[in-house]
Chain A
Amino acid sequence: DQQVKQNSPSLSVQEGRISILNCDYTNSMFDYFLWYKKYPAEGPTFLISISSIKDKNEDGRFTVFLNKSAKHLSLHIVPSQPGDSAVYFCAARDTNAGKSTFGDGTTLTVKP
Chain B
Amino acid sequence: KAGVTQTPRYLIKTRGQQVTLSCSPISGHRSVSWYQQTPGQGLQFLFEYFSETQRNKGNFPGRFSGRQFSNSRSEMNVSTLELGDSALYLCASSPEGLRNIQYFGAGTRLSVL
Contact = CB atoms under 8 A, between A and B. Distances in A.
B56 A98 contact: yes
Given A43-B90, A43-B107, A103-B42, A49 B56 contact: no
Interface of A is mostly: strand
B54 to A, nearest CB: 11
B42 A104 contact: yes
Interface in B74-94: 90, 92
Nearest to A44: B104
Nearest to B46: A99
B103 interface: yes
Interface residues of A, number: 23
Contacts of B90: 43-44
Contacts, number: 49
Interface stretch (A55-63, A67-75, A89-97): A89-97
A49 B101 contact: yes
29 contacts: A32-B100, A34-B100, A36-B104, A42-B106, A43-B90, A43-B107, A44-B43, A44-B90, A44-B104, A45-B104, A46-B101, A46-B102, A46-B103, A49-B100, A49-B101, A89-B42, A89-B43, A93-B100, A95-B99, A98-B48, A98-B55, A99-B45, A99-B56, A100-B33, A100-B45, A101-B45, A102-B35, A102-B42, A102-B43
